[in-house]
């Protein structure tokens, strides 16, 4: 079974490049362009790993990680 990864980055180039790389390594990958969209995905789907950009306009990666940790089952 493939591990499920969420990749969050406001750069379309990075989402495409890293998403393609992770898929080539046999991971199931979902991408998000902003933290709010990513938070909705985390509420709906269990991810084995979340990779986030640290510098984003709406919410930085540290704030995003702090918010995700409040969700049941997320550490």
Tens digits of residue pLDDT in 31-60:
999 999 999 999 999 999 999 999 988 898
Q: pLDDT-derived band of residue 1, with 50, 70 and 90 as boundaries?
A: confident
- The reply to whether CATH 1.20.140.10 applies to domain 4-68 is no
Q: Where are the domains of the chain?
A: 4-68
| Structure-token pair, residue 57 | 């306009």
What is the DSSP code (8-state) at residue 71? S
Instruction: State the pTM of this model.
Output: 0.90
How far is Cα of residue 25 from the mean position of the Cα atoms in its chain? Answer: 17
């Amino acid at each position: 079974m493939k591990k499920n990864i969420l990749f969050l980055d406001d750069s379309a180039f990075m989402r495409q490049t890293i998403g393609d790389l992770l898929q080539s390594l046999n991971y199931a990958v979902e991408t998000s362009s902003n933290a709010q969209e990513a938070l909705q995905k985390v509420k709906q789907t269990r991810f084995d790993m979340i990779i986030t950009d640290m510098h984003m306009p709406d919410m930085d990666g540290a704030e995003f990680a702090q918010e995700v940790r409040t969700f049941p089952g997320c550490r």
